[in-house]
Amino acid sequence: MYDIKALYEAYSVEEAVRLLAAHPEAQIIAGGSDVLVQVREGRRAGKELVSIFMIDELRGVTMEEDGTIRIGSLSSFHTITYSPIIQEHLSVLGEAVDMVGGPQIRAIGTIGGNTCNGVTSADSASTLMALDAVMEVIGPEGKRLVPIADWYKGPKKVNLGPAELQTAILIRKESYEGYKGHYIKYGMRNAMEIATTGCSVNVKLSADKKTVEDVRIGYGVAAPVPIRARTAEANAKGKPADAETAAAIGRDVLLDVTPRNSWRASKDMRLHLCSTMAQRAFTEAVRKSGGEI
């Protein structure tokens, strides 16, 4: 059923790096919800696989002493959604990954796989963009930290070098403290659907809840890779947290997005979605922050 040349099992990060170095053409497999499907379809037929599924140190959500939230790359979507730390501090991320596939996929699929496959439709991607996430990567030369803005290098291509693997996703305290976010996914079906477009907005309001101190707007399927709407973000800072600003954001994001035509949706439809979803996600994020629109 599965045309696999060889399967190597790693029990530590160090062993995984050694195996990847010894087998440079090998593909990493974690939950397998993407890789095994690709093997069965013939797209990765005859490949060597390095399994990291048994590396328990890559699982779980913890908070470090400086307030950084550390999400192990092998953490399942289910684990993230129901983590008390995520529910208290990053509920928008828990809500976003709870829209991935069905219950079985959310139980086995991992946040690392979702971000390392490089697809722009990944439900976690736009929210991690809006959270200024940092990827922790370990390889033969040691550990390095990659801001998510530098992570996606092209369609299905991420910032991983030879024999490197992603070990964690880090959300620093300054990226979530005082912020509230909202994620909207549009698909033709209500469940088991790949996003036609996804928009995640993270907002920080002034103490009186009247002014936008900061806003981050992340998109999936609005460009070849997940992106931030930087122009719209800059224009909204310091503006009133009101319907007029929401409408302006809806217009300004069109200066940042470059969606494509595909069988799922036309470019014009995606432009409309990008504008409307940004307004709605911003409005809901303001409400979650205690503002009124």
Q: Which domains does the chain have, with CATH numbers?
A: 4-51 (3.30.43.10), 56-174 (3.30.465.10), 178-288 (3.30.390.50)
Mean pLDDT value of segment 31-60: 84
Q: On the CB side of 268, how many CA atoms lie within 13 Å of its CA?
A: 0
Residue-wise pLDDT for 88-113, tens only, equals 999 999 999 999 888 888 988 999 99
86: which DSSP letter?
H
Residue-wise pLDDT for 134-191, tens only, equals 999 999 999 999 999 999 999 989 999 999 999 999 999 999 999 999 999 998 776 6
Say what the pTM is: 0.94
Contacts by 183-189, CB closer than 8 A, 24 or more apart? 183/92, 183/95, 183/96, 183/99, 183/123, 183/126, 183/127, 183/281, 184/277, 184/280, 184/281, 185/96, 185/99, 185/123, 186/273, 186/277, 188/264
Confidence band of 3 (pLDDT split at 50, 70, 90): confident
Give me the chain's average pLDDT, please.
94
